[in-house]
Amino acid sequence: MTQFSPRPVMFGEVVFDRFPDGNAILGGAPFNVAWHLRGFGENPLFISRVGDDEAGRRVRLAMHDWDMDSAGLQIDPEHSTGAVHIQLVDGEPVFDILPDQAFDYIALAEVPPLDLVAFIYHGSLVLRSAESRATLESLVRRRTTSVFLDVNLRAPWWSVAEIQRWMVYADWVKLNRHELEQLAPGINGSLGEGADDALIRARRLISRYNLRGLLLTLGEAGALALTAKGGSESITPASTTEVTDTVGAGDAFTSVFLLGHLRNWPLAVTLQRAQDFASAIVGVRGATVADHGFYQRFLNHWSE
């Protein structure tokens, strides 16, 4: 696949989200974001690792059918393709992420050359394992492009110290309000509750880690983007949003936020489009949609 312009690099897990009714749907934040970007016409390089098993073959087939570049997808002969057992409790997903999966062993020697990179995106789950963590650290240390850290605190696979260490490499950080509360107290003690408190915490993260910006998702209250220059934009979802399940909603939001970065949209426009797309994703089952028309409708609307 020929590529002449800078492209986004997505690093991390691909898993099957397994639901109580027996359905197994492809997921994993980096995979979901890469999938959406491809749906919108971008050509992301997705770097991950799957087992030499039936689930891994399903991943490769899905990527082929979606015309995704598979040059960064490694095959592991010893470890299984990632799996997550999902229970829905009061409409919210509860995750049981299995240990010692193929994505924990992403090998630096098998990463293709990274030329003309627009940015490197990674989540926090992939940091749980020494080998994948070392591979990613090698990539971001020698990079000349920006890094986007998507925080997903999944017990027991994280620690405050580890996440804060990786914020040093990041230019943008995305997290939700609960994750902000977990990570920010280490900066300067506890603060009070409320919107003002969230802004204080977010600004302190930006300052301490010299971030270009921070994206704070607020669930039903929408999202807030803050920049190092003091700018801010917020968005709230429409009250008429129909919810099937919320799995992958944050990844959908992130994908369009990154799309806006690639296409130089104004921040306010980017947030509105990201919220519109996330609101559509919660109306379907699972985190991705294998329908080009689904994405084209948004592209058509955004070009009006």
pLDDT reported for residue 240: 62
**Mean pLDDT comparison of 3-17, 164-178, 273-287, highest-scoring range:** 164-178
Specify which residues 214 forms β-bridges with: 173, 226
According to the model, what pLDDT value does residue 195 have? 54
CA 111 – CA 74 distance, rounded (Å): 8
Report the Cα–Cα distance between both ends of the chain, in Å, rounded: 30
CATH architecture classification, 7-302:
3-Layer(aba) Sandwich (3.40)
Most confident of 156-160, 217-221, 291-295: 291-295
pLDDT at 191 over 50: no
Q: Smallest Cα–Cα separation from 277: which of 241, 232, 245, 244?
A: 241
Instruction: Quickly state the pLDDT bin for 22 (edges 50, 70, 90).
Output: confident
pLDDT value for 3: 52
Mean pLDDT lowest among 68-82, 226-240, 261-275: 226-240
- Residue 42 CA to residue 182 CA, distance in Å, equals 34
| Average pLDDT, rounded, for the chain | 90
Instruction: Kindly tell me if the per-residue pLDDT of 24 is higher than 90.
Output: no
Instruction: Say whether pLDDT at 194 is over 90.
Output: no
Which whole number is the average pLDDT over 183-199?
61
The answer on pLDDT for 118 being more than 60 is yes
d(CA 274, CA 235) in angstroms, rounded, equals 9
pLDDT tens-digit series, residues 136-167: 999 998 767 899 999 999 888 999 999 999 99
What pLDDT, in 10s, does the model give residues 64-80? 999 999 999 999 999 99
Q: Which residue has the tokens 């650290």?
A: 137
pLDDT at 238: 77
Q: How far is CA 82 from the centre of its chain?
A: 16
- What distance in Å separates the CA atoms of residue 227 and residue 59, rounded to the nearest whole number? 36
Q: How many CB atoms lie within 10 A of CB 239?
A: 6
Q: Residue 96's closest CA among 175, 13, 156?
A: 156
Residue 78 CB: number of other CB atoms within 10 A?
9
pLDDT category at 190 given cuts 50, 70, 90 is: very low
Check whether 186 has a pLDDT greater than 60.
no
In which residue are the tokens 């797309």 written? 277
Which residues on adjacent β-strands are paired with residue 76? 51
Identity at 170, one-letter amino acid code: A
Report the C-alpha gap between 67 and 60 in whole angstroms.
10
Question: Is 16 in contact with 25 (CB distance < 8 Å)?
Answer: yes
Please write the tens of the pLDDT for every residue from 33-56: 999 999 999 999 999 999 999 999
**Residue 138: what residue type?**
S
The pLDDT of residue 189 is: 46
The string of DSSP letters for 163-229 reads: HHHHHTT-SEEEEEHHHHHHHTHHHHS----SHHHHHHHHHHHHHHTT-SEEEEE-GGG-EEEEETT
What integer is the mean pLDDT of 275-289?
86
Place of tokens 């696949």: 1
Query: Is the peptide bond between 30 and the residue preceding it cis, with omega within 30 degrees of 0?
Result: no
Map residue 285 onto helix, strand or coil.
Answer: coil
Task: Indicate the length of the chain as a whole number.
Answer: 304
Which helix (H) or strand (E) segment holds residue 251: the answer is helix 249-263
Confidence band, pLDDT 50/70/90 cuts, at residue 206: very high
